Chains A and B, each alone.
Chain A
């Protein structure tokens, strides 16, 4: 097999998540991290020095002109994704964007239109959906093991005192506080990108409510941030609950699908995919068997995970590696992108509906 040409990759936006991208790209065989850029050059410099990247820039146009990049990873806050995508596409680069894609669904549509009309490809970092358990789940679903989905539950935990949570709770000026949907907007891609592919392609009903559970009042911009979100959706014959929960412990990350044939739970943190055992034999004796069956299934998952670890397939960002492999392959061959654009638009559409309901714009602002 001939050696593939390495794609020249750039990163714009050298904040916290850029480290994850740099870490993944450095080990991808078909790619080379050629340059990084941030409007704060000192941030671009630190990322470049730590990852041995030759080029670092404080100006993206300069990076695009000098580096002739094949792909740009846009890891900035979402408010500038549209403008940066336009620049990248004009320079001939494909784009890989961090979530959330844009501030609103119409803006997301515009972004994808720019990419398509420029003859380029885009994808969004829905990496957990490409992690080993998610890939396993998709294969089982395609084989019809669960039948048709009837109900879906997607649950995302969030730790306001964790590394990411602390960064925004200690800084009222953090960009997340300026998003129309605040913390939820930054996280709920990962709720709805699991639900939407299981729904029929119809406009779903969306009922959302949210509240603030934490008691501490800081009397600053962080106070406006709600921290508990519950959403109910229904599309055709499928319903779903989506939750973002900042207070339940452990901080969970799960998807449960109730199908016509079986019910399965995907645990993204523990990397297990286990279908629920049912009682096959009658009476009290029959109830003794299912827990043992479940224990056996979890044991099988542990064995599978150990195997993946031994084969060096168990990285924290394994899903991002897989997603990028597929995305880069699509770029090379001109094949379909790994996440259909229609699916991305349906996700951001649901997000807009949620934000409208939980952070309604005051009438005074509408009239203005």
Chain B
């Protein structure tokens, strides 16, 4: 069985390739935008003598570069997405890229199983009460224009996959990871806080962080991709024993580096968000509305999370959260320049 992984050279993509090999899937085609990313994958493949890794350099913005990557693939795991850039670039690399990939899949005129790595950001959590459970039944975001561009682009991407699934009837499995962390990843999710004017504003308080260690997340994607019963299903991906934002920050300070942080309680954050939104409107956008009550509710109101559905198809975390944090923080200590 040939499996295509898009974004294979990325933080999550590499882990997916590793987990596929660990599950005995040896016939892998890795789509990379930059050829140099193949080196990391070759190092992984060296640990699996049976591995047959094929590298395809393609930019998903260019529809004519995709068919040769999709050709002959039985499963397509779409992990490529934009994490930064201007709104137009993020939509190009997440949404237009997905449409191009889906067109190539539809044009293959044969059965291909499609696995999408979506995001927690695609869900509409701003209207949930504080502390509400976020699971696979949580509706998709209804007001993407009020959220950040990343959430908007991931929502539109997931919608596109469902539209094509409806139209062409291929098997589709969607995974919505929470915050993916691990060595080589970002140090702080915005859910913990933001650096502003030389201080770290701790905004997450006692909220649970929907963390998933990169290998645990990759394992979830591979288990869902290979599970027969997962077709047409959505799986949220979070680990067990989630820490609170405060616990994460305090462990980080102990194990990685000193951080001058200022705790901002939720009521103060909401008040500040209202002020920022009003000022932005009154000044006709002289300062951008980086905080608004809607964004604040979506990001920092605090929720409960479930991985029960994922466990029902056999997923188990490879690493506990304690072990995952230890490994991540050990790596962060060695590469402090990557701190956000």
- A residues with a Cβ closer than 8 A to B are 14-16, 18-19, 23, 26-27, 40, 42-43, 45-47, 49-52, 163, 167, 171, 173, 309, 312, 314-315
| Size bracket, chain B contacts | 20 to 34
Q: How far is the CB of A11 from chain B (nearest CB, A)?
A: 12
CA distance A319 to B89 in the complex (A): 25
Chain A, interface SS category: helix
Residue of B nearest to A164 (CB): B86
Query: Which chain B residues lie closer than 8 Å to A315 at the CB level?
Result: 284-286
Specify which of A42, A49, A171, A312 is in contact with B99 (CB 8 Å cutoff).
A42
The prevalent SS among residues of B at the interface is helix
When the two chains form their complex, are residues A312 and B87 in contact, meaning their CB atoms are under 8 A apart? no
Q: Among the listed A16, A26, A40, A167, which residue makes an inter-chain contact with B96, where contact means beta carbons less than 8 Å apart?
A: A40
Whether the Cβ atoms of A42 and B156 lie closer than 8 Å is yes
**Chain B proximity of A74: nearest CB distance (Å):** 16
Chain B proximity of A119: nearest CB distance (Å): 33
Cα distance A171–B82 when bound, in Å?
14
A43 touches B145 (CB 8 A): no
Ranked nearest first, the 6 interchain pairs of A and B with the lowest CB-CB distance are: A27-B284, A312-B283, A16-B86, A46-B91, A15-B88, A16-B88
What's the Cα separation between A47 and B86 when bound, in Å?
Answer: 12
Which has the most chain A C-beta neighbours within 10 Å: B62, B95, B286?
A: B286
27 contacts between A and B (CB under 8 A): A14-B88, A16-B86, A16-B89, A18-B88, A19-B86, A19-B88, A27-B284, A27-B285, A42-B91, A42-B96, A42-B156, A43-B92, A45-B156, A46-B95, A47-B88, A49-B144, A51-B145, A52-B145, A163-B85, A163-B86, A167-B85, A171-B59, A312-B282, A312-B283, A314-B286, A315-B284, A315-B286
Contacts of B153 in A (CB 8 A): 46
Task: Flag B49-71 by CB within 8 Å of A: 1 or 0 each.
Answer: 00000000001001000000000
Docked pose: A296 CA to B73 CA in angstroms = 70
Question: Could you tell me which residues of chain B, from 67 to 103, have a CB within 8 Å of some CB in chain A?
Answer: 85-89, 91-92, 95-96, 99
List B contacts of A50 (CB < 8 A). Answer: 87, 145, 149, 152
**Residue on A nearest B144 in the bound complex, by CB:** A49
* Whole-angstrom CA separation of A100 from B31 in the bound complex: 35
From B95, B153, B282, residue with most partner A Cβ within 10 Å: B95
Query: With A42-B95, A46-B152, A52-B145 given, is the CB distance from A167 to B286 under 8 Å?
Result: no
Q: Encode contact with A along B130-146: 1 for CB under 8 Å, 0 otherwise.
A: 00000000000000110
Q: Which residues from chain A contact B156 at a C-beta distance below 8 Å?
A: 42, 45-46
A173 B282 Cβ-Cβ under 8 A: no
Task: Tell me the nearest residue of chain A to B97, going by C-beta.
Answer: A42
Q: A40's closest neighbor in chain B, by CB?
A: B96
Residues in chain B near residue A52, CB distance under 8 A: 145
A5 CB to closest chain B CB (Å) equals 21
**Interface-centre pick from A45, A46, A173, A315 (highest chain B CB count, 10 A):** A46
Q: Nearest B residue to A49 by beta-carbon distance?
A: B145
Inter-chain CA distance A240–B86, complex, in Å, is 35
The answer on a CB contact under 8 Å between B62 and A43 is no
Report how far A83 CA is from B329 CA in the complex, Å: 56
List A contacts of B283 (CB < 8 A): 312
Identify the closest chain A residue to B98 (Cβ): A42
B282 pairs with A46, CB closer than 8 A: no
Given A46-B95, A314-B286, output 16 extra A-B contacts at Cβ < 8 Å. Answer: A16-B87, A19-B87, A27-B284, A40-B92, A40-B96, A42-B156, A43-B88, A49-B152, A50-B87, A50-B149, A51-B145, A163-B86, A173-B62, A312-B286, A315-B285, A315-B286
Minimum C-beta distance from A311 to chain B (A)? 9
Are A309 and B96 in contact, with the CB atoms below 8 A?
A: no
A43 and B96 within 8 A (CB): yes
Report chain A residues within 8 Å CB of B92: 40, 43
B contact residues around A43 at 8 Å (CB): 88, 91-92, 96
Minimum distance in angstroms from B244 CB to a CB of chain A: 33
Residue in B62, B89, B144, B152 whose Cβ sees the most chain A Cβ within 10 Å: B89
Complex Cα spacing A43 to B152, Å: 12
Report A-chain residues with C-beta under 8 Å of the C-beta of B144. 49
Residues of B contacting A18 in the complex (Cβ-Cβ under 8 angstroms): 88
Residues of B within 8 A of A14 (CB): 88
- Shortest A277–chain B CB gap in Å is 32
Q: In the complex, which residues of chain B have a beta carbon less than 8 angstroms from the beta carbon of A19?
A: 86-88
A314 to B86, CA, bound (A): 22
In angstroms, Cα B63 to Cα A40, docked, is 12
Shortest distance between the CB of A310 and any CB in chain B (Å): 10
Measured between C-beta atoms, what is the minimum distance from A202 to chain B in Å? 41
Distance in angstroms from B221 CB to nearest chain A CB is 25
CB distance from A96 to the nearest CB of B (A): 19
- Report the minimal beta-carbon distance from A55 to chain B, rounded to whole angstroms: 16
Closest Cβ neighbor of B284 among chain A residues: A27
In the complex, which residues of chain B have a beta carbon less than 8 angstroms from the beta carbon of A16?
86-89
Residues of B contacting A42 with CB < 8 Å? 91, 95-96, 99, 156
Which of chain B's residues have a CB closer than 8 A to the CB of A163? Answer: 85-86
| Cα separation A46 to B95 with both chains bound (whole Å) | 10
Complex-state Cα separation, A309 to B279, whole angstroms = 12
When distances are taken between beta carbons in the complex, the residues of chain A under 8 Å from B95 are: 42, 46
Q: Is the CB of A312 within 8 A of B284?
A: yes
Closest to A13 in B: B88
Q: How far is the CA of A353 from the CA of B222 in the complex (A)?
A: 58
Docked Cα-Cα span, A16 to B149, in Å, equals 13
Query: Which of A23, A45, A167 is B285 in contact with, Cβ under 8 Å?
Result: A23
